[in-house]
Amino acid sequence: MSAAEPDQYPTRKLLIGGQWADSASREQIALINPANGEVFTHVASASEVDVDLAVKSARQAFESISWRRMRPLDRGKLLERVAQLIEENADELATLECIDNGKPKHLAAAVDVPSAADTFRYMAGWCTKLSGKTLPLSGDGSHYHAYTLRQPLGVIAAIVPWNYPLAMAAWKVAPALAAGCTVVLKPSEITPLTALRLGELVLEAGIPEGVLNIVTGYGQTAGQALISHWDVDKIAFTGSTAVGKHILRSSADDLKRVSLELGGKSPTIIMPDADLEQAIPGAAMSIFFNSGQICFAGSRLLVHRDIYDVVVEGIIEVAKTLPIGDGMNPDTMIGPVVSDVQRKRIMDYIAIGQEEGAELVAGGGSGGNDQGYYVEPTILANASPGHRVFQEEIFGPVLAVTQFSDMEEAVTLANQTRYGLGANVWSQNVNTCHQFADSLNAGTVWTNCYFVIDPAMPFGGFKESGIGREVGEDGIAMYTESKSVCMKIG
């Protein structure tokens, strides 16, 4: 299948209170296929008026008996049904993700869609397991019965990015609904189609109208209206650190609850005893997968000096073997980046890296693609901590390589950025792996593996990589408040 014809994808509307509606302003956003740079459909551009209606709808649904007092077992069945519908519509969802985002369809089908289904299924199980505790009070010696309740926060503003549109929507929506909250979801204006299709599936599953509302629009309009709305109880955001800081500042006026999953500059560390047959392709794919558009991409490669040349040559060879092209081609491994703006940003960083003294040893071009927004897997060798390509998030298939002499230097280099989202360690010595896991400032440390994401494993960052955790038990707890109850007996 080639690029979509415009009439295949009619203009999409907002989901508010279970109904699909045009925006109040009637304004629309053009969606562009990154594989060819052509507009293939439009979506409604939500205004402040639309956001207010969506929040009111979410509040009404949250207060309704049908949702607030629904049996936990029944809520779990509804989330399980969403998971089933995602699986039943997997091919369509993967196609939408490919055309909207640019990622290869076969990879979206293998990773993004199953991840979304797994998240809803996992969170369905938590509906019956959110419980409090009884507390042994000392007090004044009287007899007290004290306990805690775990209750839903209320209306959630969920703002998700363009790199994993469906999976990130699931990471926000599924735990929020499992906790008993209601949601206003704002997908990226660049890649909203799978979120809108998810809205249809949620309604088809039987989740009450108004529990999930979806407003498509720009960050400075729809996004800002959401984060500043007085009746939003929590903001759950995944995106850039700069926007995350803005959200945190904005939340101070009414002390909204906030969780932020932000940027990263994650290190991959290869020790001299590593199994290079696994470590080299692992290190390569930790940065080149999804065209490097992953918050925890292993964008800094730290290699022991004894094996530096061998590893760099090995990753160059991997980079050369990755087919670049339209994501609808089943042979494609490197699709286009999401937009022309993103492509230009990445190319600017490649030039900056060379100006600073890093050596371009692979890539740096478009892979021979004249149309669309393509960037070859690119390797900048001999990068140093003072280089911007070592310190700043590029969000593209660009790897900065640095050598080290011993574990102490590797830890220092790894921790020498303002980020702390993920880290990869390759070593066959279990003690070495544990020492790194203890010493690295990262929310997740993968050892002898990479890109292992599971709904049971909490995900989030240290330092400027965010606040709070996604998925897992920690993830669903972020959508609840703990209430203490104390009763005097007798």
Q: Which residues contact 244 (CB under 8 A, 6 or more apart)?
A: 237, 260, 262, 466
- Residue 432: which H helix or E strand, with range? helix 430-439
Q: Please tell me which residue in 98, 181, 295, 433 is annotated as part of the active site.
A: 295
CA distance 362 to 103: 21
3-state secondary structure 102-137: CCCHHHHHHHHHHHHHHHHHHHHHHCCCCCCCEECC
Backbone angles phi, psi at 205, to 5 degrees: -70, -20
Q: Is the dihedral of CA 349, 351, 352, 354 positive or negative?
A: positive
Which amino acid is located at 411 in the chain?
A: V
What end-to-end distance do the CA atoms of the chain give, in Å?
A: 74
418 DSSP assignment: S
| Closest among 37, 104, 96 to 325, alpha carbons compared | 104
Backbone angles phi, psi at 362, to 5 degrees: -160, 145
| Closest among 192, 183, 150 to 32, alpha carbons compared | 192
Burial class (CB in 10 A: 0-12, 13-18, 19+), 137: middle
| Closest among 171, 165, 220 to 188, alpha carbons compared | 165
Q: Please tell me which residue in 80, 261, 393, 470 is annotated as part of the active site.
A: 261
Per-residue CA distances from 394 to 13, 106, 264, 327, 390 (Å)? 33, 25, 9, 21, 10
Tokens of 7: 């009439």
User: CB of 400 within 8 A of CB of 243?
Assistant: no
User: CB of 382 within 8 A of CB of 402?
Assistant: yes
**CB pairs under 8 A, 24+ apart, for 91-96?**
92/197, 93/166, 93/194, 93/197, 95/1, 95/328, 96/193, 96/194, 96/197
Q: Is the dihedral of CA 150, 155, 161, 163 positive or negative?
A: positive
DSSP string, 163-225: SSHHHHHHHHHHHHHHHT-EEEEE--SSS-HHHHHHHHHHHHHTPPTTSEEE----IIIIIHH
Partners of 403 in the beta sheet?
303
Look up 295 and say whether it is catalytic.
yes
Catalytic residues: 261, 295
